[in-house]
Amino acid sequence: MIKNISLALLTLLPLSLPSLALADGEVNVYSARKEQLIKPLFDKFTAQTGIAVNLVTGKDDALLERLRLEGDNTPADLLMTADAGRLYRAVEMGLTQPVESEVLTKAIPANLRDANNQWFGLTSRARPIFYVKGKVKPEELSTYEDLTDPKWKSRICIRSSDNIYNQSMLGSMMAVNGVEKAQAWADGLVKNFARPPEGGDRDQIKAAAAGQCDIAISNTYYYGQMLAGENAEDKAAAEKVAIFWPNQADRGTHINISGATVTKTAKNKDNAVKLMEFLVNDESQQWYAEANHEYPVKAGVAIGDMLQGWGEFKADSLNLSELGKHNAEAVKIMDKAGWK
């Protein structure tokens, strides 16, 4: 019996080691973006250039940790995240290297990339306020700061503070208003929660549509997916709410990016840069806008009817590195505020 088990293991074990041979010249990517949101573009890249792309997806923090522990021997050339804060952290941890690419610096606005070209934003998304049509008049809304007003008591839905989008949103506020005001804002917002935070961004919109609250905070592409999706219930829910772009009179609506950075010891740096450049060309940027309802980082790229229908808005021009700088402190503020 032991013999049989050992034999089975011996024959099967080689199956478990296929990843040893990563050919030179291929690009190895650690991505916190979900496979379905990135793989189609990689396939196009391979088709056009003949450069193969190998992919591991995962949660951003975990991938960062893996990168850190693997150190100089890491096979990863490129790290992609769904948030600027994590890119900032990768730089802080010394896991990245700068990239000189005219294509990238030209295509991407300065606030959406690192000042030292350590990381680059590839798509952008806004985190505006959604209100239930008929229950809230857009005139009643103005800024994020205003959401602490007692008139919104028990009317706001937002997800847990575990989520990086909320941490980054608070981070942007800390950068502008300082820690004390940010704490006061978090305290006030928690007081206006319709219910303890639960679920994801879509769930906030659904809860608002179902009458649990009047205001929801969500990223734009979730709203776009719901409107465009096959699920009739989701679509109906999304149609009950509308976007309000806050802070148009001052700093603008909070935005975040998905982006990429080349690892410090990348063995295929040139091809990695080629891949990044590919991702900001017009065609790729348009694909993002259409397939995932994200905003292109590159100016002048055509966006679909849906995104156009949401209207033009002024985006916060804060350099997104600030989000990362304030992240740990933001978590503490939320803990103190009792934001679950």
Partner 1 sequence: MEIKPLLWRAVLLSMALLTALPILAVFGYVFVPAPEVWQHLRETVLSDYLLNTLWLVLGVGFGVLLLGLPAAWLNSMCQFPGQRFFEWALLLPLAMPAYIIAYTYTGMLDFSGPVQSLLRELTGWGYGDYYFPNVRSLGGAITMLSLVLFPYVYLLARAAFLEQSICVLEVSRTLGSNQWQSFFRVALPLARPAIITGLSLALMETLADFGTVQYFGVTTFTTGIFRTWFGLGDHAAASQLAALLMGFVFVLILLERWSRHKARYHHTSSKYSRLPRYPLRGSYAVAAVLVCALPLLLGFVIPVGQLLYWSVTTATNGLDADFIKLVWNSIMLASLAALFALLLALILGYGKRLSNDPLVNLTARIAAMGYAIPGTVIAIGVLIPFAWMDTQLNTISQQWRGSTIGLVLSGTLFTVLFAYNVRFLAVSLQTVEAGLGKIKPTLDNAGRSLGLSAFGVLHRLHLPLMKGTLLTAILLVFVDVLKELPATLILRPFNFNTLAVRAYELASDERLADAGLPSLMIVVAGIIPVILLSRSIGKSRAGEH
Applying the rule CB under 8 A, the residues between 4 and 33 that interact with partner 1 are 5-6, 8-9, 12-13, 15-20, 22, 28
Instruction: Write the binding mask 169 to 208 for partner 1: x where contact by CB under 8 A, - elsewhere.
Output: --------------------------xxxxxxxxx--xx-
Distance CA 282, CA 3 (A): 60
Minimum Å distance from CB 34 to partner 1?
5
Residue position matching structure tokens 């080691």: 17
Total number of residues that touch partner 1 (CB under 8 A): 72
Q: Residue 94, interface with partner 1 (CB under 8 A)?
A: no
Among 162, 239, 250, 283, binds partner 1 (CB under 8 A): 162
Q: Is 270 in the site for partner 1 (CB under 8 A)?
A: no
Is residue 35 involved in binding partner 1 (CB under 8 A)? yes
Whether the CA torsion 131, 133, 136, 139 is positive or negative: it is positive
**CA–CA dist 107, 5 (Å, integer):** 57
| Length, in residues, of the chain | 340
Residue 64 buriedness (CB in 10 A; 0-12 / 13-18 / 19+): buried
- In this structure, the number of other CB atoms found within 10 A of the CB of residue 283 comes to 11
CA 152/CA 285 separation, integer angstroms:
37
Bridge partner list, 216: 130, 157
Nearer to partner 1, 181 or 195 (CB): 195
Of 46, 49, 66, 235, the one binding partner 1 (CB under 8 A) is 66
Residue 49 CB, shortest distance to partner 1, in Å, is 18
Identified binder of partner 1 from the candidate list 23, 47, 50, 72, rule CB under 8 A: 72
CB atoms within 10 A of CB 251: 20
CB 23: neighbour CB atoms within 10 A? 8
Output the CA angle 228-123-297, nearest 5 degrees.
115
Shortest separation between residue 203's beta carbon and partner 1, angstroms: 7
Contact stretch for partner 1 (CB under 8 A) within 64-72, 180-188, 300-308, 314-322 = 64-72
Instruction: Using the minimum distance from each CB to partner 1, give the nearer residue, 252 or 290.
Output: 290
25, 43, 48, 65: residue in contact with partner 1 (rule CB under 8 A): 65
